[in-house]
Structure 1
Amino acid sequence: MAWIAALALCPAGTPWAQAPGPAITPPTRDLDTLRVTASILPTAANDAGQNITVLGPERLEAWRGRSVAEVLAAQAGLMVDRSARGGGYGALYLRGADPSHVVILVDGVRQNDPLSSRGSAVDLNTLSLERIERIEIVRGSASVAHAEAIAGLVHLHTRRAAEGASASVAIGGDGLRSRHAGLSGGGWSLAASDREDGDGRHGFQGVRAFDAAGEREVLPALSLRAAFGYSDSEGRGFPDDSGGPRYAVLRELDDRHARARQVSLQARYRPAVGEIEARWARFSREGDEDSPGVAGGARDPIGLPALAAQTDYRRDELQATWRRPLGGVGEFGAGVLHQREHGRYDGRIDYGFFQAPVAFAMQRTTDAAFAELRWRHGSWTAQGGLRQERRRDAGAGADHASQPILSLQRQVGASGAHWGASFSRSSRPPSFYALGHPLVGNPGLRLERAEHRELHYATAGDAAWPSRITLFGARYRDLVDFDGGPPPQLVNRARIEADGVEWRSGRRFGNDWRLGLDGAWMRVRDPLGGVVLRYRPRLQAGADLTLPLGQHELSLRLHHLGRRFDSSIPTGGRWLAAMTTFDLALRRQWGPATVLLALDDATDARGEEAIGLDTPGRRLRLALRWDLQ
């Protein structure tokens, strides 16, 4: 396997997604690729100060039938602790931070739920890949418009197919079944999907989703767009820290059910002085969770009690943004945000000899103003942004936060290569769960804060090997942590320091073969207590190779995940072994039909996702898509 490391450590650089798409490409409409979520100003991924990966339709096609969690876990620098097959909570770790510090967007609407006991982290296994056409991954602090993304941001864009109808099905081992159907006309689209994964004995995940959207140009300078999304998910798996199928004493599974809805109305007006965009969005989520608890063991002789909880969360958001070009020397953008959140938690904890009711309700109002300016002078480009924010929690005082972003880039010669440096500070409020829980909550919690410094070098997008390498340092402080007391309580205590290097590179050869390389090396530590943090591998690396073979196209993916630390109640802490997986997929198109035959984890690499929970292993997957224009 020495050649794996050699491939992974090649010169680093620009997103492999920037290479031209393969010969077999699903019919899609342009998704405004010059506007990535890392800035409120029009920006190409390769020109942004942040390290961005864009996975377009051509990259996602080989993943059809698999889960959002699996797609993200295959990207260097991203770690997901549970796959959909395991039925557990799929939490995303990025740049050393906790999953609650990563914002997940679907069509611009934030999916994070502050009522979660995991600190507003998103369960990626509840999101359907069948409905997704493009994924943007922003590492580090994102735009001033998304200040809560103190570790990074993932933006999922739903499909916007060309006029016509489409349908797809996929089947595979371990109970994999997925179906998707879409219909679109002049300015409108409808889509529905259904996916199941897992054997039901050790884990199961089911996701059903429906999306509808309509767009119309009312005047030559004014367009309106309305969108609706609904998803219903069900998950069953062994509880966190239980030791999984191998070590769990209690064999009953966690049972989680969630229903999420989002509605958005957007208007774009293009007067002579730039562009004005206004959007109202509502996101709501109802959740039910029933856990059998975890028996005592080596790490904790008492274990975790059984619990049941119902949650109801709603967020309304109104945002307006104005963008204006400044001749040929730059761009300026400014905006305002008003947001109202309501959440209710109703549960009970079963200690065996009595049941303790746990109920609370929270409300929060957030007002913010933000601006970004990009200025060019010769070979230099400077960009700065500032967000001023005021939050008010019902029954408590107001929090004020000032969050700056600054980057500087310089083009090297006439080749288009450039280097850049950036600095940012960001913060996020404690979750409703951390503030309001009657047993461990603490209404006096402060904002969690982060500071990122980055230095990067990128070649031109049309270079022989378009590449980008990023050096970063991230400092997280005042993080919410559990203090055993007495009394037990959540406090602002934890700190995390992360330093590392990320690289990406790609090459299209003369025979149309396309090679992509990516990787990340990171050192993460707790500077206060010396605690070894879970799910923070030091090394991740991957290689993609796409081979057009006549009427067929073969996609190969190699991914290495370094060893990482984990802990469970029955076993205590230990290191999970490193593993390397190899996936392959063969596609062929017959008229309007595209057939995909894939073998996931072809070498059947054996390892553990978490202590006692084995990786899924080899699986054959067959997918068929039919497009009618």
Structure 2
Amino acid sequence: MLLSALLLAQSATTPPPLVVTASRLPPPTSAVRIEGPELDSAGSVAAVLAGVPQLFVAQAGGRSGFAAPTLDGADPNFVLVLFDGVPINNATSSRGGAVNLAEIAGFGLAGIELLPAQLSAVHGSGALAGVLALNPRGPTERPALTVRAGVMTQGGQTLGAALSGPLGGGWGATLTGQSDDDGSPTPLTRFEAHTALLRVARGDSGHRLLLRFNAVESAGFPDASGGALLARRRLAEQRRAREWLGAVRTRQALGPGLVLDLNASWLNRRDTIDSPGVAGGASNPAGLPASLDTTRYDRLLGQASLAWTGGTTQFAAGIEGGHERGRSAGQLDFGGFALPTAYRLDRRSWAGFVELASRIGAVSGSAALRVDRIGDLKARLSGRIAATAVLGRGWRLESAAGTSFKAASFYALANPLVGNPALRPETGRRADLTLIWQQAGTRVRLGGFVARYEDLIDFVFQPAPALVNRGRVAVDGLSASLAQQLGPVGFDLAVQHVWPRDRAGGPDLLLRPRWRANAALRWQASPRLVVNLRAGQVGARDDESVPGGRQRLAPYVLAAADARWQATERLAVRLAADNLLDAGWQDAAGFPAPPLRLRLLADVTL
């Protein structure tokens, strides 16, 4: 949530030796990193990322809405989300595989890493815009128990606990549990989540076991209904989700500089959506029928890789295999009769990859190449190259270029209302150039990118709701940021401009603000008290609803503040105010933003 925490974390000049955000090899230092106590106090990952100018998270109606991340003007499902290195995007999601970041609590996370880049050469299908890595806390050296309790206006509350410590033989474990109730900040909305996470690891050896369960109950106006301001059918859509994630990893040293990595994971998700439908409007007189839909998604992944380090050179190669299964059953209710709906899809995949990184003097570079075969699709070859040059006097230049692709999701191919089995895979190309200057508490960053996408899968309302391939879409962008630390005060300024457009002459893409600007101030008022102020501006953007048709949403300014007081060695208290100006913007057409909201959190460490 805090740009100050983000940019101070960015100031580290030495990246960790192994980071899953971009590669099995070290990432560029321009990757966005968010760490610190602010991370797990924001409520959800969506709230944490609100201060990142490259990322626009549209969240209709507060936390009950689907918080889809739009990175650098690309589609939300072009962001691959990793939880402890395991992808959690699922092919039955109604957003084409996008992850709802509002479902994921910040409590229990040690850090977030974001790398805007085309990374199919590393991760395969889906990483056309970038990778978002969520890293849970590791075990502590001594037994520790942290208990959290919090209340908020509009009826919200939270309760959590984290137990961590050694198990013996170099092993340790962290067990985290949390229950969130977001209350009802906007009409007809409701959100409750219950999360449990167990992570067992053996020091820095690379051995780990991960088990995670997340249960969500939510309600709100359906998508495209026009929300509380425009909807003609004033009934809430009821949603229920259950998600299980299990993963194991082991790392073995085979010789000098040679390491074998073995990974396996299982993701299971069940969703039930009971929708009242959407009343017709001028753009779609028939509207959307009431529906009941239950989906189940299972994915098994396995990977084996070898990594070798010799001096300033690193090399990695490996293979990966996976199996996806999607099931859906439900009905469409047209008033006089109900039409049963169902689909069953299975998809197997395999991949092989190689990566190389080396440094010669002040210049370092890396390259990656990967071939993927998914289902009945033809084999896809993805590549990426990157280079960093240290120019001296605090200056550094980073550049990268890559190609990516994404296979159509099960939802896009087979949904009975809008699915299209003829959809082609989406493809992309992107090049980045970043200039960074850093000295004595000051960091300046100037960057730009050029991205081209083909066969972009998009939703259209006319003549009937459907998913179609767009021919050619271009997104270009420029960004600048400044981070400055002056004694106890740190401030950050950042701005981004993106220019998304359909080169085939189609209408503008929805929910793509061209301008984003953010500012943050962090004041260490005393050794025990920290005060943060944040403000962000989101530019105008298009959206569409059935009753209101296509419309231009006005720009808005979002302000927030919080103070963290370390009352005693064991007690920390945080008071936060969200939407400090009580502004009434719309993240989606007809969905009003939650009003001014106060949150009080207390953490007790035993």
Contact 1:339–1:365 (CA under 8 A) maintained in structure 2: yes
CA deviations on 1:42-85 (whole Å, 9 max, x unpaired) are 42551xxxx52111124425xx1522222223311211221573
Contact 2:139–2:173 (CA under 8 A) maintained in structure 1: no
Contact 1:87–1:238 (CA under 8 A) maintained in structure 2: no
Question: In 2, Cα distance between the equivalents of 1:531 and 1:100?
Answer: 20
When normalised by structure 1's length, the TM-score is 0.89
1:578 aligns with 2:555: yes
Change (3 A) 1:323 1:126: same
Aligned to 1:238: 221
Change (3 A) 1:600 1:33: farther
Pairwise CA distance, 1:202:
2.4
Aligned to 1:260: 243
1:412 aligns with 2:391: yes
Q: Secondary structure at the match of 1:466?
A: strand
Aligned to 1:449: 427
Contact 1:85–1:205 (CA under 8 A) maintained in structure 2: no
The correspondence of residues 182-221 of structure 1 with structure 2, limited to 5 A, is 182-186=162-166, 187-199=172-184, 201-216=187-202
Question: What letter is aligned with 2:344?
Answer: A
Aligned to 1:27: none
Contact 2:61–2:593 (CA under 8 A) maintained in structure 1: no
The correspondence of residues 37-116 of structure 1 with structure 2, limited to 5 A, is 37-43=20-26, 45-46=28-29, 52-60=31-39, 64-82=41-59, 85=62, 87-116=64-93
Q: How many residues align?
A: 590
Question: In 2, Cα distance between the equivalents of 1:248 and 1:486?
Answer: 21
Question: What letter is aligned with 1:17?
Answer: A
The correspondence of residues 138-149 of structure 1 with structure 2, limited to 5 A, is 138-142=115-119, 144-147=121-124, 148-149=126-127
Q: Secondary structure at the match of 2:39?
A: helix
Contact 1:480–1:494 (CA under 8 A) maintained in structure 2: no
Question: In 1, Cα distance between the equivalents of 2:461 and 2:551?
Answer: 22
Aligned to 2:591: 613
The correspondence of residues 355-394 of structure 1 with structure 2, limited to 5 A, is 355-392=338-375
Residue of structure 2 aligned with 1:403, choices 374, 382, 385: 382
Question: In 2, Cα distance between the equivalents of 1:303 and 1:486?
Answer: 12
Pairwise CA distance, 1:489:
5.9
Change (3 A) 1:363 1:116: same
The correspondence of residues 197-596 of structure 1 with structure 2, limited to 5 A, is 197-199=182-184, 201-216=187-202, 224-271=207-254, 272-328=256-312, 330-392=313-375, 397-413=376-392, 415-437=393-415, 440-460=418-438, 462-481=439-458, 490-509=467-486, 511-550=487-526, 551-589=528-566, 590-596=568-574
Pairwise CA distance, 1:530:
3.3
CA deviations on 1:588-609 (whole Å, 9 max, x unpaired) are 1111111111122222223222
1:622 aligns with 2:600: yes
CA deviations on 1:156-191 (whole Å, 9 max, x unpaired) are 112235231111112111222111101112111111
Contact 2:61–2:592 (CA under 8 A) maintained in structure 1: no
Aligned to 2:161: 181
Residue of structure 1 aligned with 2:581, choices 585, 600, 603: 603
CA deviations on 1:106-151 (whole Å, 9 max, x unpaired) are 1122121111232112222222222322111121213633232111
Change (3 A) 1:169 1:19: farther
Change (3 A) 1:528 1:352: same
Question: In 1, Cα distance between the equivalents of 2:183 and 2:453?
Answer: 36
Q: Secondary structure at the match of 1:155?
A: strand
Question: In 1, Cα distance between the equivalents of 2:492 and 2:24?
Answer: 28
Change (3 A) 1:33 1:536: same
Q: Secondary structure at the match of 2:379?
A: strand
Q: Secondary structure at the match of 1:298?
A: coil
Question: In 1, Cα distance between the equivalents of 2:463 and 2:189?
Answer: 36
Higher mean C-alpha displacement, 567-576 vs 288-297 = 567-576
Aligned to 2:169: none
Q: Secondary structure at the match of 2:369?
A: strand
CA deviations on 1:174-213 (whole Å, 9 max, x unpaired) are 2221111011121111110011113184211111100112
Contact 2:60–2:586 (CA under 8 A) maintained in structure 1: no
Question: In 1, Cα distance between the equivalents of 2:555 and 2:433?
Answer: 29
Question: In 2, Cα distance between the equivalents of 1:518 and 1:79?
Answer: 14
Contact 2:275–2:292 (CA under 8 A) maintained in structure 1: yes
Higher mean C-alpha displacement, 133-142 vs 420-429 = 133-142
Change (3 A) 1:240 1:444: closer
Q: Secondary structure at the match of 1:130?
A: coil
Contact 2:329–2:341 (CA under 8 A) maintained in structure 1: yes
CA deviations on 1:537-569 (whole Å, 9 max, x unpaired) are 111111121111123111111111112112211
Change (3 A) 1:624 1:440: closer
When normalised by structure 2's length, the TM-score is 0.92
Q: Secondary structure at the match of 1:213?
A: strand
Question: In 1, Cα distance between the equivalents of 2:294 and 2:561?
Answer: 41
Pairwise CA distance, 1:440:
4.8
Question: In 1, Cα distance between the equivalents of 2:510 and 2:464?
Answer: 25
Aligned to 1:26: none
Aligned to 1:11: none
Question: In 1, Cα distance between the equivalents of 2:7 and 2:87?
Answer: 24
Question: In 2, Cα distance between the equivalents of 1:18 and 1:540?
Answer: 20
CA deviations on 1:446-497 (whole Å, 9 max, x unpaired) are 221011111111124x444222221001111112245789998644334321
Question: In 2, Cα distance between the equivalents of 1:374 and 1:161?
Answer: 31
1:150 aligns with 2:128: yes
Question: In 2, Cα distance between the equivalents of 1:399 and 1:439?
Answer: 27
Pairwise CA distance, 1:359:
0.8
Gap runs ≥5 in structure 1: 1-7, 9-13, 21-30
Higher mean C-alpha displacement, 511-520 vs 225-234 = 511-520
Q: Secondary structure at the match of 2:229?
A: helix
Change (3 A) 1:513 1:143: farther
Pairwise CA distance, 1:378:
2.6
Structural RMSD (CA): 2.4
Question: In 1, Cα distance between the equivalents of 2:586 and 2:329?
Answer: 34
Higher mean C-alpha displacement, 358-367 vs 564-573 = 564-573
